[in-house]
Amino acid sequence: MAKLAPSLLSADFSKLGKEIDILEKGGADYVHLDVMDGIYVPNITFGAPVIKKIRGTTKLPFDVHLMVDRPERFIDDFIDAGSDIITVHPDASIHLHRTLQEIRNKGAKAGVSLNPSTPLDVLEYLMDDIDLILIMSVNPGFGGQSYIPAMTEKIMKLKDMIVKSGNDIILEVDGGIKLENAREIIDAGADLIVVGSGIFATDDVESRVKKFKELIA
């Protein structure tokens, strides 16, 4: 069964603990944390100190998405903050293989995130070193963008690659996912969907989380 990772990017940053509590009540499986540095993407969000503070408010696993230039500089900080999964972008990390090994060696799951224009080939020699692959279905940097339809075929191709590799790799999809298209994305092969504005742009976040959970069940 597919799982749900609400993204805090569209949450109220003045009450993150409460927002996580509501997500948990609704049945969220992970908390997705979008770290942006204003260099790799044209936006700045939050870093390891904020994650460390909210870590104590929930037992849900933290799925940390680093949209950060040379993320290898910060692996220790994000491990120390309590990240369960750390995902990096190949074009941001100079020695991607080493970065992934470092994440694993330090006790977190290692993820690779591909932008819409990044081909799947970049994964070819890394399939034994990855726990999660994140397909960006919008360009990274902002919440509330529209799903790029060509990504459905990319998800299907990646699913095939993962099955052929024989490895236990989570296929995550992030960006523009709403109640209307979640089913299509899961049917294409997603194991884990990230939803930001599709969850927080409503007055009743808890029941929206429940709706997503019903839909993907």
Active site (catalytic) residues = 34, 174
Using CB under 6 A as the binding rule, whether residue 9 contacts ligand DX5 is answered as yes
Using CB under 6 A as the binding rule, whether residue 111 contacts ligand DX5 is answered as no
Considering the complex, state which of residue 175 and residue 189 has its C-beta at the smaller distance from ligand DX5.
175
99 binds, among ligand DX5, Zn ion, none (CB under 5 to 8 A by kind): none
132/163 Cα distance (integer angstroms): 13
50 in helix, strand or coil? Answer: helix
Using CB under 6 A as the binding rule, whether residue 32 contacts ligand DX5 is answered as yes
Least distance (Å) between residue 151 CB and ligand DX5 = 12
170/180 Cα distance (integer angstroms): 23
Q: What type of residue sits at position 52?
A: K
**Closest residue by Cα to residue 138 from 175, 112, 171:** 175
**Token pair for residue 138?**
């919008």
4/155 Cα distance (integer angstroms): 17
Site string for ligand DX5, 62-91 (x = CB under 6 A): ---x--------------------------
213/64 Cα distance (integer angstroms): 21
Least distance (Å) between residue 201 CB and ligand DX5 = 8
Q: Are 39 and 73 in contact (CB under 8 A)?
A: no
Least distance (Å) between residue 32 CB and Zn ion = 6
Using CB under 6 A as the binding rule, whether residue 20 contacts ligand DX5 is answered as no
Q: Are 212 and 199 in contact (CB under 8 A)?
A: yes
For 59-105, give the DSSP string. -SPEEEEEE-SSGGGGHHHHHHTT-SEEEE-GGG-TTHHHHHHHHHH
10 binds, among Zn ion, ligand DX5, none (CB under 5 to 8 A by kind): ligand DX5
The site for Zn ion (CB under 5 A) is made up of 34, 65, 174
Considering the complex, state which of residue 98 and residue 183 has its C-beta at the smaller distance from ligand DX5.
183
Residues facing residue 133 across a β-bridge: 112, 171
29 binds, among ligand DX5, Zn ion, none (CB under 5 to 8 A by kind): none
Least distance (Å) between residue 60 CB and ligand DX5 = 16
Using CB under 6 A as the binding rule, whether residue 176 contacts ligand DX5 is answered as yes
Residues that bind ligand DX5 (CB under 6 A): 7, 9-10, 32, 34, 65, 138, 140-141, 143-145, 174-177, 194-198
